[in-house]
Amino acid sequence: MNTFIVAGLLLVLLGVAYQRGWTKSRALAIPEGQRVHSRGQYHGTLVVLWTLIPALLVLALWAFFSPGVAHWYIVSQIPNEVLTSLDQTGLNQQMQRIRDLASGFGVAGELRPFEQEAGENLARFQLLSFLIMLAAAAGLGVLGLTFAQRRISARLRARNEVERAISWLLIACSAVAILTTLGIVASLVTEALRFFTYINPLDFFFGTVWAPKFSSTGTGDAGQFGLLPLLSGTLMISTIAMLVAVPVGLMAAIYLNQYAHRSVRRIVKPVIEILAGIPTIVYGFFALVTVGPFLRDVGSSIGLHVSATSALTAGLVMGVMIIPFISSLSDDILSQVPRSLRDGAYGLGATQSETIRNVLLPAALPGIVGAFLLAVSRAIGETMIVVLAAGNAPILRGNPLEPVSTITVSIVNQLTGDTDFTGPQSLVAFALGLTLFIMTLCLNIVALYIVRRFREQYE
Amino acid sequence: MTSASFDSAAERRQRVRAGLARRHLGERLFRGFGVVAIVLALGFVAVLFTDVLRKGIPAFTQSNLHLEVRFDPELLKVDPAPIRAAGQSDADFRATRLAWERQVAMLNWNNVIEAALRAAAPAGFDIDSRQILTIAESDGRHRVRELFVRDPGLLGQRVNVDLLASANTDNWVKGNINRELDDARQQLSAPARALIDIFEENGTISQGFAWSLFTNVDSRSAPAAAGLLGALMGTFWMMLVVIVLAVPLGVGSAIYLEEFAPKSRLTDLIEVNINNLAAVPSIVFGLLGAAVFINWFRLPLSAPLVGGLVLTLMTLPTIIIATRAALKGVSPALRQAALGMGASRTQMVFHHVLPVTFPSILTATIIGVAQAMGETAPLLLIGMNAFVAAVPGTPIEQATALPVQIYLWQGNENRNFFEPRASAAILVLLVFMITLNAIAIFLRSRLEKRA
């Protein structure tokens, strides 16, 4: 509700600002017939900017500080003897009660003597602080408006100023990508470091047993956090996925690129690319409900024990998911190989398949390796398929027909529903995330480097 | 030339001819592998879609009970609804009305449903009241009560009402339960099963389109009434956040990098960084969301706002890369012409270059948003998998999303009933994604022609 009021007021103010700037600009231009440096829109926009930025600054400051101030105010409303008797959870509950009273929501149970008064005080305080904020934002906005309006003259370079503002805005947009990376690294590293205060990094990276104990959260016995069983499961599933995706994807790309008639290619290529657009939860469900039981039945008919959820199930389905990834990347790379190389081979009397195997593929190899690495990184980071179909058995073993667990599965298991990062049980998710991030980052950098390097060879 | 060299030439020809057969075989084999790969890939697409369709389509129909419900005054001992007396104040009337509604809520509405079921059964059919109630879904009593609250004049009347059959009934009717199993392993008792068969024959139970799938929220107590509305709204709010944030940020960032940024170490770093972000596993973005948005900024758990923010950060690189590619494709002549006419750099970009690339940017955006819509893993880490039985009215209320709802339903213990439901939800999700992609393709072909 409050948000709508603020947004509405702001919009009205901005409308007025634009109107003022534009009118003044026209007033300059028409009667005196002088050459005005910038057009009316730019003057209007400039006034809008001068109004918007101070108001937004006030709003941002308020949004940043108001929770803290409200917290401080509520605590100040609780009598000292009550305050000392409460622990953290009790204090939070007490504060929620007062907030509920202030918002008119009401509370259950008997009112303590101070609560009613505190609630009323809080309601008054909130209203007052909201009004002050509103007044400050509007006041500064109007101040900016008048100042900017005064500045408008025939020689004011409004367009240049607006353009400078736009370019700062664009820079801010690009900064988001960097901030995201910084955010990822900062959150992963700080939380992982906190995890390593509980668990020795050596035990984490070289431990062979994964057995986090949830029952003993907060006690000394946290369980064992060995990465190796998860790593082996991850690598096993990725390997199976690659064994499916690379031959099928590569051959499909070669066929579409070299043999297929244009009309066939036009239909088949997008159909294969549909596989890339399917959400991974759908693959996971498909693996769990259809592929797993199918493999189990096939296995038992030839006297082999295959678990319905296993590394094989997850790997096969993940391979299907990666096929379009490999095929379209390889297709692009094959198309980049210069025609002259191929024609040379044909001229020497090579058949089409010999040309492909002996000329085209070697020439395209670095690019294909790059695509392969990107696909591996995607397989390592894939989550929903393995959550549903890998079986979640974090045990170090080499049989792909048995259930395994992966790094991503463990992240989901350790963190789902638990966002109070107090013990190693939830913090370990960040150590796992950091491991995953570094692994995929290395693969991506190497892959991008190879792909780029290769491209330049022909340009 | 000597005869020897002729011989060797003939020999060579011989050798080449002999090798040719082998080489042509190799050629055919290689080509065959290619065909096999294509067939395999297309086969996977076909199997996946037929499997989901086969499993999901039955869940779009639902067994309904057509009952004649009698609001029997004997069963419903309730005071007449309060009528507003002259001069009664608003608050007073509301209080008496609330007291009456409370009284209505306390009544045992199951009795009414039981009576209606018995009336539909053949005379003298022997079944106890707990068993007969398993035929109807447990939300039936709320629906009958609501009818009464809306129109208290129904007391003593008979009304035709359509209620949902229970999940077990639905399974039995659709043949998802093995009828040969002995009683101990059946969800429904023997008389209840017999009665369902009778109901099916006399038309009391029939199949209809499962509207409740789209009009209800998820439910634990009444599985047959569980629907997608909450998840759809949650997804809607998230996509709104993504569109509002990711599109301007992504396009702005691409414009800066492609048009304004000086070619320096820093911009090179940004470029590498964005390419890498595009390949960071989605679950890592979930960790980012859990740590930064929820733990540091204290944003609410399970809120579409947080989900939308996480998905925005995930989608940004896709939009940036696609937009940059589109900007790169604009011919330099256009830029030079604009600059030559005295336009500033900003005017050149915003008035001339952007409009030309608009179709490509739009397409890339739609595809990016569609991808974000199917993402599940990061949402699990920020609590979007909590059970929510309400339609979120704002982006900061607890909600779930469509793909997460699929995850929750596939994990439900009542697998016989929820596996088809999950498949149906998948179909809904796929329809959305295919629609979005189709729109993208349509817009591109349409707008590109005009440009």
Q: Is B374 on the interface with A (CB under 8 A)?
A: yes
Average pLDDT rounded to a whole number, residues A276-293: 93
Chain B residues with CB under 8 Å of A280 CB are 374-377
Could you read off the pLDDT of B115-162 as tens digits, one per residue? 889 888 888 788 888 888 888 988 888 888 888 888 888 888 888 888
A·B CB contacts under 8 A = 258
pLDDT at B360 over 70: yes
The Cα of B104 is separated from the nearest Cα of chain A by a number of Å equal to 23
- pLDDT of B87 reads 75
Query: What ranges in A199-227 are assigned the alpha helix state H?
Result: 201-206
Please say if the pLDDT value at position B356 is more than 60: yes
Q: Which residue of A has its CA nearest to B52?
A: A286
Are the Cβ atoms of A419 and B301 closer than 8 angstroms?
yes
- For residue B320, pLDDT over 80 is answered with yes
Q: How confident is the model at residue A98 (pLDDT cuts 50, 70, 90)?
A: confident
Q: For an interface test with A, give the residue of B287, B416, B417, B441 to mutate (most A CBs within 10 A).
A: B287
Q: Closest Cα partner for B344 from A161, A111, A118?
A: A161
Beta-ladder partners of A56: none
pLDDT at residue A290 greater than cutoff 80? yes
Q: Closest to A174 (Cβ–Cβ): which among B256, B287, B295?
A: B256
Res A126: pLDDT = 85
Least confident of A223-237, A431-445, B262-276: B262-276
Lowest mean pLDDT, pick from A156-165, A214-223, A413-422, B22-31: A214-223
* E-assigned strand segments in A99-237: 210-212, 223-225
- Are residues B374 and A280, on separate chains, in Cβ contact within 8 Å? yes
Residue numbers in B near A259 (CB within 8 A): 31, 34
Give me the sheet containing B205-209, strands edge to edge. B158-164, B61-70, B205-209
Neighbours of A190 (CB within 10 A): 14
- B306 chain-A contacts, CB cut-off 8 A: none
Contact check, Cβ <8 Å, A183/B292: yes
pLDDT, mean of residues A72-95: 79
pLDDT, tens digit, 9 for 90 and up, residues B325-346: 999 988 899 999 999 998 888 8
The pLDDT tens digits for B168-205 are 898 888 888 888 888 878 888 888 888 998 898 888 89
| Residue of B44, B255, B276 lying closest to A170 (CB–CB) | B255
Query: pTM for this structure?
Result: 0.87
What is the model's pLDDT at position B110? 87
Which pLDDT belongs to residue A214?
Answer: 66
State the smallest CA–CA distance between residue A448 and chain B in angstroms.
Answer: 8
Give the pLDDT of residue A447: 86
Residues A65 and A57: their CA atoms lie apart, in Å, by 12
**Using CA atoms, how far apart are residues A335 and B272, in angstroms rounded to an integer?**
24
Asked whether residue B273 carries a pLDDT value surpassing 60, the answer given is yes
B317 residue type, one letter: P
CA distance B203 to chain A (A): 33
Distance from CA of A281 to the nearest CA of B (A): 7
- Mind listing the pLDDT tens digit for each residue in A204-239? 999 888 988 765 455 556 678 889 999 999 999 999
The letter for the amino acid at B448 is: E
All residues at 6 or more sequence positions from B43 whose CB lies less than 8 Å from its CB, including other chains: none
Q: Identify from B38, B282, B293, B367 which residue to disrupt to test chain A contact, counting A C-beta atoms within 10 A and taking the largest count.
A: B38
Place of tokens 């090579």: A350
Alpha-carbon gap: B45 to the closest alpha carbon of chain A (Å):
7
Interchain proximity B37–A352, CB inside 8 Å: no
Q: Do B370 and A256 touch (CB under 8 A)?
A: no
Residue from A382, A287, A375 nearest A327 by CA: A375
Which one of A3, A92, A163, A285 makes the best mutation probe of the B interface by having the most chain B beta carbons within 10 Å? Answer: A285
Across the interface, whether the CB atoms of B288 and A180 are under 8 A apart is answered: yes
Chain B residues in contact with A377 (beta carbon < 8 A) = 279, 281
User: Which pLDDT score is estimated for A74?
Assistant: 83
The rounded distance, in Å, linking the Cα atoms of B185 and A94 is: 50
* pLDDT for B427: 95
B292 and A CB contact within 8 Å: yes
Structure tokens, B142: 């709320």
Distance CA A443, CA A369 (A): 11
Determine, for residues A444 and B279 on separate chains, whether the beta-carbon distance falls below 8 Å.
yes
Are the Cβ atoms of A417 and B285 closer than 8 angstroms? Answer: no
Nearest by CB: B410 against A288, A421, A448:
A288
State the pLDDT at residue B6: 62
Work out the minimum CA distance from B297 to partner chain A, whole angstroms: 10
CA distance A282 to chain B (A): 7
Supply the mean pLDDT for chain A.
86
Contact with chain A for residue B42, Cβ under 8 A: yes
pLDDT of B305 reads: 93
Query: Which pLDDT score, from 0 to 100, does residue B402 have?
Result: 94
Residues 178-207, chain B: which have Cβ within 8 Å of A? Answer: none
Tell whether B43 is within 8 A of chain A (Cβ): no
A16, A21, A186, B157, B338 from A36: Cα distances, Å: 22, 13, 50, 81, 22
- pLDDT confidence bin for A108, thresholds 50/70/90: low
Average pLDDT for A376-403: 91
Within 8 A by CB and 6+ apart from A286, the residues are A317, B48, B51, B52
- The closest alpha carbon to B176, from B417, B374, B435, B366, belongs to B417
Cβ-nearest to B290 among A259, A285, A415: A415
Instruction: Label residue A121 exposed, middle or buried (CB < 10 Å: 0-12, 13-18, 19+).
Output: middle
The whole-number pLDDT of residue A221 equals 63
Check residue B1 and give its pLDDT.
Answer: 47
Interfacial B residues in 376-405 facing A (CB < 8 Å): 376-377, 380-383, 385-386, 403
pLDDT score at B447: 74
Rounded to the nearest angstrom, the minimum Cα separation between A247 and chain B is: 8
Instruction: Give phi and psi for B66, each to the nearest 5.
Output: -100, 105
Which tokens sit at B165? 């059959």
B396-433 pLDDT, tens digit per residue, is 888 999 999 999 999 888 888 888 999 999 999 999 99
B159 touches chain A (CB under 8 A): no
Q: How far does the CA of residue A205 sit from the closest CA of chain B (Å)?
A: 19
Nearest residue on chain A to B277, alpha-carbon basis: A181
More confident residue, A259 or B86: A259
CB B253 within 8 A of CB B313: no
Confidence of residue A189 (pLDDT cuts 50, 70, 90): very high
Determine the pLDDT at residue A384: 94
Of the partner residues A191, A320, A415, the one whose CB lies closest to the CB of residue B44: A320
A110 CA to centre of own chain: 45
The reported pLDDT for the residue numbered B151 is 85
Point out the residue among A177, A187, A250 whose CB comes nearest to the CB of B287. A187
Cβ neighbours of B21 in A, within 8 Å: none
Smallest Cβ distance to B33: which of A67, A251, A285? A251
Give A32-48 pLDDT, tens digit per residue: 667 778 888 888 888 88
Q: Torsions phi, psi of B162, nearest 5?
A: -100, 120
CB distance B383–A419 less than 8 Å?
A: yes
The one-character DSSP state at B300 is P
The pLDDT tens digits for A300-344 are 999 888 888 999 999 999 999 999 999 998 998 888 888 888 899
Q: Chain B: nearest CA to A395, how far in angstroms?
A: 22
Phi, psi of B393 (to 5 degrees): -90, -20
